[in-house]
Amino acid sequence: MYSVSSKTNGMGAFVDDYYFDPIVSRFPLFNNTYPVYATTVQVSGSGTKNLPNLYLPNPYPYYIAITYQDHVPIDSFQSINLRWANPNDSGNFEVNLNDVSSVYYSGTYAHDFFMFNATNYNMTLDYNYSGMDVQNLQIRIYSKTPLNNWLPFSD
């Protein structure tokens, strides 16, 4: 199912049964339901990856959702830092091993709202995993209004 969700711009998070209700309520099912950015990237070890650019038509808060490990238990994840930048604006969304033990980030799913301008952003991912096993990360950004086009699916 994780592979199918990755290829169709969906989300496939793993979470302990105890946290199922709080995590499902944080999926983009009720607010900010329209995908405006979707990429699935393979990483291993530590490094930096340039991601596809982000093009946003409206200035308001967007919902970022990331799966930072494609299986449980959390065994090699150390940290990720999703960064966005252009000449007039920049920001980042960082998740580290300390975050994943809380209810807010329990399991393999991290999420939050961030303010963006109506412009183009260069996207970069810094990652740190303790092993060399390949991880498939799902990075999605959602809006409260739809785009005029359908996002391409990941291969």
- Kindly state whether residue 63 falls inside one of the protein's structural domains: yes
Q: Could you tell me where the beta strands, DSSP code E, fall in 56-117? A: 60-67, 77-86, 89-96, 109-116
- Kindly state whether residue 50 falls inside one of the protein's structural domains: yes
- Kindly state whether residue 10 falls inside one of the protein's structural domains: yes
pLDDT in tens, 110-155: 888 999 999 999 999 999 999 899 999 999 999 988 877 766 566 5
Which residues sit opposite 85 in a β-bridge? 90, 122
Buried b (16+ CB within 10 A) or exposed e, 55-78: ebeeeeebbbbbbbbbeeebeebe
Is the model more confident about 101 or about 77? Answer: 77
- Kindly state whether residue 149 falls inside one of the protein's structural domains: no
pLDDT at 54: 95
- Kindly state whether residue 95 falls inside one of the protein's structural domains: yes
- Kindly state whether residue 155 falls inside one of the protein's structural domains: no
Domain containing 61 — which CATH number? Answer: 2.60.120.380
Query: What is the C-alpha to C-alpha distance for residues 129 and 43, in angstroms, rounded to an integer?
Result: 8
Amino acid at 27: F
Which residues sit opposite 142 in a β-bridge? 35, 63
Q: How many domains does the chain have?
A: 1
Start-to-end CA distance of the chain, whole Å, equals: 15
- Kindly state whether residue 20 falls inside one of the protein's structural domains: yes
| Owning domain of residue 28 | 2-143
What lies within 8 Å, CB to CB, of 32 at 6+ separation is 61, 62, 63, 113, 142, 143, 144
pLDDT in tens, 85-94: 999 999 999 9
Element (H, E) at 126: strand 120-129
